[in-house]
Structure 1
Amino acid sequence: MRRAAPLLLILLAACQPEDIFYTQAKPQKEDVSDLTGAQIYAENCASCHGDDAKGGVYPSAPDLTKLSARHGGSFPTRHVMSTIDGYAKGTQRAPMPEFGALLESEMEVWVDEKGVQTPTPAALVRLAEYLESVQD
């Protein structure tokens, strides 16, 4: 029986949930579903583009308040969302990281200027709406 006791303890420990062996919580992706566009910007974009979205914190981070001006006076929502998500990775000029996985949230239907309906993560739409609101 004495020899079986250690084996029994090992078998019992193996049946426990794996979290019992970790002293730290496993990293969880933050839920961005209920955040505003300004909050999402502050948490994910301000470190490079600045609190005021005027760029310059990271050397090649552009001034995001001039997106409409650089696109003929119209805010380029589709381009902005594609760049943030990472879909436009091959077309951007700066080392913009992909944020698509961080902005996963409930989907909503976004309608572009031509009436095309596209299922889009709500957090990505909120962020684009915020960026449109800060245009000079």
Structure 2
Amino acid sequence: MKTPSKVGHLDPAAVCRSSDPMAVRELLTKIGDKWTIFLVLSLDLLGGRARFSELERAVPGISQRMLSSTLKNLERDGLVVRELFLEVPPRVEYEITDLGRSLLAPTQGLVDWAKANWEQVRKAQSKYDAR
């Protein structure tokens, strides 16, 4: 069996010894959901601030309901702020916060890894499925 690399090695025992291991797990689950990463990166690509419709166009495949739900969760967690403009028709914009920006570098690293390794993963899946 291969020994895990010490560089970037996740130590589950250390996570469990942290002040609140359930909070760490909960936050990692939220950040790793299907849409959060795409929305945070899209907000950054759109200059840090965007309207709902711009985000909907920037994230192909997301439904309006899921976009709304994910944005509410990001707002609740302090990763974005929502600003309502009392105009006719009303306008709403979402802006990434400093906390949300702090997520960009590790998120981009994960996206880069996925781009570099998706074909290798696909081949492994095909090999597994053929068994």
TM-score by length of 1: 0.28
| Structure with the higher fraction of residues in helix conformation | 2
The higher radius of gyration belongs to 1
